[in-house]
A and B are shown apart, each in its own frame.
Chain A
């Protein structure tokens, strides 16, 4: 007998009472989404800015290896998209578009459609996510409602820069992934 059958058969042989699967309410509160989203992201050590603040930051940030896939900011790209994500090793800044944001925790949803390479938001030294103010939801329940049955091979919530506290619980930003996250709300 295969291990698969073995495991399934041992489970089937166990007497269990049926237990109902509950419905999940959406716990809507109608809070100020932009305000809560900004508070959450700041708490996660990300920075929230508007388009003009971003324009002035980019002029002074001193980065020259930039890739942008965001319409409106494509002019900022200085590198072309390589075929192999390993070649992004020295990328200083990736500018990507977020699909929507979650106010309660600052998480921003991206799928394959927003990711030229799945590795890009991780391998880049710094990350900028551009997101429309109109595309905020209150909490994770509404977030999954919004994702619905959409089929993407890969999807992720990013809520801040790469961080760790594994050395004596001291928070350090920039473990393996992006050392900073800036969110441009337009």
Chain B
């Protein structure tokens, strides 16, 4: 389904769509307010951008440094070229440990690799432990937002779902009550799991450690009770030094949700005695994106979701309308690199207003890359619907006489044509748009009459 088609689905429930729009704008507003309390905010964004640019310019070196230091710390390091190899490595570790059930905290990378269905096919029970992710997992849905996975759902729907799955009281929609029920349900899973999987927010080359940030504490509940911790990490998550964490941790939560820092920021350097930590370093299209000079710096993304919260299209079309693991503006420049044909409508799901680039904590020029992808896609996929009318327009604008005649024609046509011609199914422009009031005369005629 194309983005406009999927967005139309989302907009059918107008009340919910309005709530979605306003709620995400509220989060964006919180981000604005807290960023203004840090006088050096713009310096931090510049620093973060430069640190990531530098890292990408020496990514091979830092990957080797990270591996060397992680191995020294007793962490086992694996390399995966693609999603399939990543999934195989994870399954291999589970089988070696005779593990039938795992707990997993938020990891967009494992979503990208479709790890859950793969493990389930191989007889492993996977429990997502972030509350939002557990909710969408119950519904057999992917997250619709990378930071707020269940933002497309209302508490009534969650109440019904929990009534069915966790036997909560029918009709009790109190978020505290529902969260408490999930706490009890998930605690049992935490206590039983032998292996826990987490994502990685930052990998530090200098020390071979990695950092995981949560508010719920679910990542830590999982890994400290399990015997084996598997951390799945995209190769672009690296930063050179521990010092750099100061910059990124100041930016991440403030950009994501408008809070000063996440409540738990865990630094994993070596396993507890008798336990294991594995890091799986995953490429899956990242080196290909690195090779595309115009799109290279999309790899600086720290997955804060600020570009989604601010985007007028995302807020009004919902995360699912993008049909890609990472939705929103950043997803629209990452996904075409993975599959240009499948995601060909995404770079057009933007007004190019540039708000995404303005809020990005690592200063990715998102809207410029959206524009660049449009050029690439138009080149590759040839004639689009608009091209014929563009050619026609070009002819009209080239000839003053043609311009004058068509102007007169249009002014009377817009007034007199039946509405059904404009709001017609084959005229996609008419969808969701109203025609302007037409003036009595052209500007040229007006000027002749009034400025003799």
Partner of A143, one of B57, B240, B246: B246
A156 within 8 A of B: yes
**Per-position 1/0 for B76-107, Cβ under 8 A of A:** 00011100010000000000000000000000
Which residue of chain B has the shortest Cβ distance to A45 in the bound complex?
Answer: B263
User: A62 near B: Cβ within 8 Å?
Assistant: no
CA–CA, A159 to B265, complex, Å? 9
A24 touches which of B47, B59, B63, B259 (Cβ 8 Å) = B47
- A175 touching B215 in the complex, CB below 8 Å, given contacts A105-B260, A141-B243, A166-B131: yes
Contact at B290–A14, with CB atoms within 8 Å?
yes
Interface string of B259-272 (1 = CB under 8 A from A): 11111111111111
Bound-complex Cα distance A162 to B187 (A): 13
Q: Does A16 contact B (CB under 8 A)?
A: yes
B221: chain A residues within 8 A (beta carbon):
119, 122-123, 176-177
Per-position binary interface string of chain B over residues 35-55, scored 1 when its CB falls under 8 Å from any chain A CB and 0 otherwise = 000011001000100110110
Choose one: A44, A89, A172, A175; the contact of B191 (CB below 8 Å): A89
**Does B190 reach chain A (CB closer than 8 Å)?**
yes
Bound-state Cα–Cα, A175 to B81, Å:
36
Q: How far is the CA of A151 from the CA of B204 in the complex (A)?
A: 13
**Of B51, B132, B264, most A-chain CB atoms within 10 Å:** B264
Closest to A88 in B: B225
Distance in angstroms between the alpha carbons of A81 and B161 in the assembled complex: 39
Question: CB distance B224 to A4 under 8 Å?
Answer: no
Is A147 engaged at the interface, CB distance under 8 Å to the other chain? yes
Count of A residues near B, CB < 8 Å? 72
| Interface: A170 (CB within 8 A) | yes
CB-contacts of A1-33 with B (<8 A): 2-4, 6-8, 10-14, 16-22, 24-25, 27, 29
B259 near A119: Cβ-Cβ < 8 Å: no
Which residues of B in the span 4-36 have a Cβ within 8 Å of any Cβ on A?
A: 23, 26-27
The answer to whether B376 has its CB under 8 Å from any CB of chain A is no
Contact B246 A170 (CB under 8 A): no
Residues in A with CB closer than 8 Å to B180 are 174
B149 at the interface (CB under 8 A from A): yes
Chain B residues whose CB sits within 8 angstroms of the CB of A47 once the complex forms: none
**Quick check: is A65 within 8 A (CB to CB) of the other chain?**
no
Give the most central of A86, A123, A139, A164: most B CB within 10 Å: A164
Which residues in B have their C-beta under 8 angstroms from that of A157?
249, 261, 264-265
Q: Is the CB of A7 within 8 A of B216?
A: no
Known: A155-B269, A169-B23, A177-B217. A161 touches B179 (CB 8 A): no
Which of A14, A118, A176 lies in contact with B190, CB distance below 8 A?
A176
Q: Which of A62-110 contact B (CB under 8 A)?
A: 85-86, 89, 104-107
Chain A residues with CB below 8 A from B59, complex form: 11
Q: Is the interface of B mostly helix, strand, loop or mixed?
A: helix
Specify which of A11, A117, A152, A169 is in contact with B290 (CB 8 Å cutoff): A11
Q: Given A106-B260, A117-B224, is A19 in contact with B269 using a C-beta cutoff of 8 Å?
A: no
Contacts of A27 in B (CB 8 A): 40, 43
In angstroms, Cα B243 to Cα A145, docked, is 7
**Contacting pair A118 B272 (CB below 8 A):** yes
How far apart are the CA atoms of A44 and B186 in the complex, in Å?
24
Shortest CB-to-CB span from A131 to chain B, Å, is: 16
Do B47 and A153 have beta carbons less than 8 Å apart? no
Q: Which chain A residues border B224 with CB–CB below 8 Å?
A: 85, 117-119, 122-123
Chain B residues, CB < 8 A from A170: 155, 175-176
With contacts A155-B269, A159-B260, A176-B217 taken as known, whether A19 is within 8 angstroms of B250 at the C-beta atoms is no
Nearest-neighbour CB distance to chain B for A171, whole angstroms, equals: 8
Tell me whether A167 and B243 are in contact in the complex, defined as CB-CB below 8 angstroms, given that A152-B269, A162-B215 are known contacts: no
User: A104–B260 contact, CB under 8 A?
Assistant: yes
Chain B residues with CB under 8 Å of A123's CB are 221, 224-225
Known A-B contacts A153-B270, A175-B179; A166 and B130 likewise in contact (beta carbons under 8 Å):
yes
CA distance A22 to B27 in the complex (A): 31
Q: Which residues of B contact A165 (CB under 8 A)?
A: 148, 257
Verify A176–B250 contact, CB threshold 8 A.
no
Q: How far is the CA of A12 from the CA of B287 in the complex (A)?
A: 10
Does B56 have its Cβ within 8 Å of any Cβ on chain A?
A: yes
Closest approach, in angstroms, between the C-beta of A102 and any C-beta of chain B? 8
A17 to B54, CA, bound (A): 9
| Contact residues in B for A122 (Cβ distance below 8 Å) | 217, 220-221, 224, 264
Query: Which A residue's beta carbon lies closest to that of B156?
Result: A168
A140→B245 contact, CB < 8 A = yes
Nearest B residue to A7 via CB reads B283
A interface footprint on B218-229 (CB within 8 Å = 1, 0 otherwise): 101100110000
Instruction: Look across to chain B and name the residue whose beta carbon is closest to the beta carbon of A24.
Output: B243
The 3 closest A-B pairs by CB, nearest first: A177-B217, A166-B132, A119-B224
| B interface, CB within 8 angstroms of A | 23, 26-27, 39-40, 43, 47, 50-51, 53-54, 56-60, 63-64, 73, 79-81, 85, 129-132, 135, 148-151, 153-155, 158, 175-176, 178-180, 182-183, 186-187, 190-191, 215-218, 220-221, 224-225, 235, 240, 242-247, 249-250, 257, 259-272, 281, 283, 287, 290-291
Could you name 23 residue pairs across A and B whose Cβ atoms are closer than 8 Å?
Answer: A2-B79, A3-B283, A10-B283, A14-B287, A22-B47, A22-B54, A40-B260, A85-B225, A121-B220, A139-B250, A151-B269, A153-B271, A154-B269, A155-B267, A156-B220, A164-B216, A166-B130, A166-B150, A167-B131, A174-B179, A176-B183, A177-B217, A177-B218
Seed contacts A24-B47, A177-B221; 7 additional CB < 8 Å A-B pairs: A11-B287, A14-B291, A18-B58, A155-B266, A159-B263, A174-B183, A175-B216
